Amino acid sequence: MSIYESIGGEPVLVEVLDGLYRRIALDADLAPFFANRDLDRIKARQAEFLGHALGGPVEYRGRPLYRQPWGEVVYDKTPSMKDVHRRGLFRIGQSHARIEQWHFARFVEHLAASLTAAGVADEITQEILTVLAPLADDIVTGEYGDGALITPV
């Protein structure tokens, strides 16, 4: 049985993502990254991505990674998730920010809490987090050299 099936498939994944973005909306450090963004589109892409990564019968049609967490290597000329995040400055108020490791860690904390709230067993939550951990390299973009970086308080 895949991780996707063991958590309850699409209905539970949708519940987890809804919970995740409710938590993020209340997080003063992460909410600005998602302000004025199409959250329905983001959640739909994440549902595809997670559904596929967790072994579900879901085709991921979003940005490719050079190496997908499920092992598939992409040699596509389309900009990868890493390229998009590295190029993408997020405008937050009058500043710009890039995603740092602590942002990714906070996102993962909210994901774990959302999985728990949806009734996903702790050992399965840990399996999911293990599958997703390598994504930090494709999402974390580090400091932006002009000093306009949003930093934790």
Task: Determine the topology of domain 3-139 in CATH.
Answer: Globin-like (1.10.490)
Residue 44: what are its φ and ψ, rounded to 5°?
-65, -45
Count Cβ atoms within 10 A of the Cβ of residue 127 and give its class: 0-12 exposed, 13-18 middle, 19 or more buried. middle
Q: What is the pLDDT of residue 127?
A: 93
The residue type found at 32 is P
List, in sequence order, every residue forming a beta bridge with 95; answer none if it has no partner: 92
Q: What is the pLDDT of residue 144?
A: 41
User: Which pLDDT tens digit goes with each residue over 10-30?
Assistant: 999 999 999 999 999 999 988
User: Which pLDDT tens digit goes with each residue over 37-59?
Assistant: 888 988 988 898 889 889 888 87
User: Which pLDDT tens digit goes with each residue over 54-102?
Assistant: 988 887 766 555 445 555 544 454 555 555 555 554 554 445 567 788 8
Residues 30/90, Cβ–Cβ less than 8 Å? no
Q: What is the mean pLDDT of residues 132-153?
A: 57
The domain segmentation of the chain, as residue ranges, is 3-139
Torsion of CA 93, 18, 105, 28, to 10 degrees: 30
Its pTM stands at 0.75
H/E stretch holding 45: helix 39-53
Q: What is the pLDDT of residue 103?
A: 85
